[in-house]
Amino acid sequence: MTDMKRRSPVVFPFEIKKTEPWEHWTVVTEYKSEREDLWIVDLSHRPRWDIQNNALSDLKPLDFAIPDTPGQCRLEKGVLINRMNRTQASFWQLTGERFEMPDDAAFTDTTDGTLFLAMVGREVPLVAEKLSALDFLDPTTTSPRLFQGPFAHVPCQMVLVDKSDDKPGILLTCSRGYAKDMVAAIMQAGREFTLKPAGQTAFNRWVESLT
C-alpha cells in the first residue's frame, strides 16, 4: 500500500532550500531568502485538537493543564493550550514529536480541516493592524493571549504569543478553505515591510527563545 501523503493548504511563492518528511507531510525547514527580523511560517502540519467538555477545568490532556479563564493561554514544552470559553479549549503542538490524541469524545483532531500560520518580527503588529480591528498591543494585555474574531474578514483563532518590542509573534488558525485568500491578504499587507516566509527551523528557534 502506498504511504498516505498529506498536503498543506499553504503555498508561498518563494524558493525552498530544505525540506524534510514528517508524519506523511513534506515540511519546509528553510527557504533560500529568509529574514531574521520579519517572517511568516506555515505550521499547518503541526497537530491541533479541539477540546469540549462541561468539566473542562478538570481535564489535563497529556498532563498539560488547561487555563481556567477564557482568553488565557499556556505555552509549555512546545505546546500551546488556549481557553476559548467555559466548555472549549484548543491544543496546538508547535514543536517536537507528535502526541497521540487521547481516545476521548472530548477531543477532535482539527489538523486537516484548518490552516495554521505564525508571523514573527518587529513589524508584525503593523501588518496585523491592516487586517484586523483587534488590538493585539493593548498595554493591559499580557501574552500569550487568545483572540477570537475576524482577521482579513475570516473567523479565526489568534494567539498573541509574545508582545516584546524585539520579536512579537502572532499565531492564527482558520478553516482550510480560506488558505489561499488568507495567505494572499497577509503577504499583500506585509509587502511594504518585505515580509518573507521562513521554515520550521526558524520557528523552532523562536519558540525555544520564549521558554
Query: Is 80:144 a contact under the CB 8 Å cutoff?
Result: yes
* Joined grid coordinates for residue 112: 486537516
pLDDT at 2: 53
Q: Where are the domains of the chain?
A: 16-45+112-210, 48-109
Spatial separation of the C-alpha atoms in residues 181 and 170, rounded to whole Å: 18
Query: Is 63:78 a contact under the CB 8 Å cutoff?
Result: no
Among 41, 19, 39, smallest CA distance to 29 is for 19
Per residue in 116-149, pLDDT (tens digit) is 999 999 999 999 999 999 988 788 888 899 999 9
Per residue in 66-102, pLDDT (tens digit) is 999 999 999 999 999 999 999 999 999 999 999 999 9
Per residue in 12-34, pLDDT (tens digit) is 989 999 999 999 999 999 999 99
Query: Read out DSSP for the chain?
Result: -PPP-B--S---SS-EEEEEEETTEEEEEEETT--SSEEEEE-TTS-EEEEE-TTGGG--GGGPPPPSSTTBEEEETTEEEEE-SSSEEEEEE-SSSPPPPPSSTTEEE-GGGEEEEEEEETTHHHHHHHH----TT-TT--SSEEEEEEETTEEEEEEEEE--SSS-EEEEEEEGGGHHHHHHHHHHHTGGGT-EE--HHHHHHHHHHH-
DSSP β-ladder status, 196-197 and 145-151: unpaired
Q: Which CATH class is domain 16-45+112-210?
A: alpha beta
Task: Quote the pTM value.
Answer: 0.93
